[in-house]
Amino acid sequence: MSDLPFRCAGPVTLVGNGPFSAEMLAEAQTIAPDLIAADRGAHRLAVLRKTARAVIGDMDSLPDPAAFDDGRTRVIHLAEQDTTDFEKCLYATEAPFYLGVGFTGGRIDHTLAVFHAMLRYPSKPVVLVGEDEAMALAPAGRLLRLRLRPGARVSIFPLLPVTGGPSRGLAWPLDGLRLAPGERVGTSNEAAHPLVEMKFDAPGALVMVERPFLAALVHAVAAPPPG
């Protein structure tokens, strides 16, 4: 479509059809107020009496997409079947960063496809909001700084092979540690200091923190790199 990408001046909360509560959505909107629904996520928003700026997807699970095209919401029908609705939302929009609600906690294959899309678009920071945790990909080659509580869980799962660079404030340092699927993972680490720092040499390190530290994770991955 020639009028894409759909541009948003501020951060966006993407809403899927997976499990999420009104509380989770409200928490995400305190950081990223604008809503964009991925296909049937529009129905979930309607139940909560929320209005999306756009509904994006192949519309295979939304019975009446035209019902949402009311002048306040733009319906963007992308018929191609090579990508998921979440990935369509990423490539069809431009925003400073994204929060994702309703993309974890349901079908595992759907969640894995979300991780796949995040890897494909590393220049578009995404923080996923789950029932118990928040998660995001660490920017490659950049120091990730997290303000946490000592003892708070910090898990790192390598979606691709990565090597940890200098780290600070973790109970188990990552310096020089190679992480890779099927080889070694970094789950159930924890903060030993209020400031945790870590760096990875390549894209692919999925960082997970407890949900109360959502804002800290957003600041770490979405803040512009130091000048």
pLDDT score for 226: 58
Query: Is the pLDDT confidence value at 81 over 60?
Result: yes
**Higher-confidence position of 201 and 226:** 201
pTM given for the model: 0.95
Share of the chain above pLDDT 90, in %: 90
Beta strands in the chain (DSSP E): 6-7, 12-15, 34-38, 54-57, 74-77, 93-94, 98-101, 126-129, 133-137, 144-147, 153-158, 162-163, 178-179, 186-190, 195-198, 205-210
Q: Evaluate if residue 224 carries a pLDDT over 80.
A: no
Q: Which residues contact 128 (CB under 8 A, 6 or more apart)?
A: 99, 100, 103, 104, 114, 134, 135, 136
Phi, psi angles (nearest 5°) of residue 62: -110, 110
Domain ranges of the chain: 6-131, 137-222
CATH of domain 137-222: 3.40.50.10240
Distance CA 65, CA 199 (A): 43
For residues 143-151, average pLDDT: 97
Average pLDDT over residues 166-174: 97
Q: Can you give the pLDDT at residue 225?
A: 62
For domain 6-131, say whether CATH 3.40.50.10240 is its number. yes
Contact residues for 18 (Cβ-Cβ < 8 A; gap 6+):
102, 103, 104, 105, 106, 107, 110, 111
